[in-house]
Amino acid sequence: MNDGATVSRFLPDEDATLQLGASWAKSLTAPLVVYLQGDLGAGKTTFTRGLLRGLRHSGAVKSPTYAIVESYPLADFTLHHFDLYRFASPEEWEDAGLDDLFADNCVCLIEWPQQGGGFTPAADITVSLNHSEHGRNATVSAHTTRGRQNLEAWLN
Ligand code: ADP
Ligand code: MG
């Protein structure tokens, strides 16, 4: 179901990546599962930092590469930012007890979701960031009705 459910943007610099994230803050609603796809250094954590700033989080936004998840209690929901890059096997999902974080009042953004194999919950939205010669290309796709509603409220 991809008709009308994919939007692309060119991001010339880091600021554009931060702004794309921040621009989602006004309309983002929980629950939502978001996959962040792209190579190392593509801008997945930068995008999340922009979103959290837009959501009025004033503290630091660390990459969760070592912690696996950083959680941010916000006004309307809790945002969980995962990075599964360092998983040696998908079973680490269960060892870390991550299922408990996928609650109704949570928005979950997941870097390297494929590292969790079948344990990673399905995505409502995928944000893909890809290196281009100058900057990054962002493609946002919705996979569920909820995801499509969020995407349309954000980028249409
Ligand atoms: P990831 O989480 O995908 O590994 P990071 O967000 O940690 O990537 O790092 C992305 C790097 O690329 C940062 O150094 C950031 O300044 C830079 N960057 C982010 N967006 C852009 C962009 N649109 N154009 C050029 N550089 C960017
Ligand atoms: Mg990252």
Along the 156 residues of the chain, how does pLDDT read in single tens digits?
444 599 999 999 999 999 999 999 999 999 999 999 999 999 999 999 999 999 999 999 999 988 999 999 999 999 999 999 999 999 999 999 999 999 999 999 999 999 999 999 999 999 999 999 999 999 999 999 999 999 999 998
Name the residue at shortest CA distance from atom 23 of ligand 1.
13
Q: Which of 37, 46, 53, 131 to mutate to test the pocket of ligand 1 (most atoms within 8 A of CB)?
A: 46
Contact 47, 129 (CB under 8 A): yes
CA atoms within 13 A on the CB side of 155: 20
**3-state class of 79 per DSSP?**
strand
Whole-prediction pTM: 0.97
pLDDT at 1: 45
Predicted confidence at residue 94, as pLDDT, reads 95
Neighbours of ion ligand 2 (CB under 5 A): 44-45, 63
Ligand 1 lining (C-beta closer than 6 Å): 11, 13-14, 16-17, 38, 40-46, 63, 111, 135-136
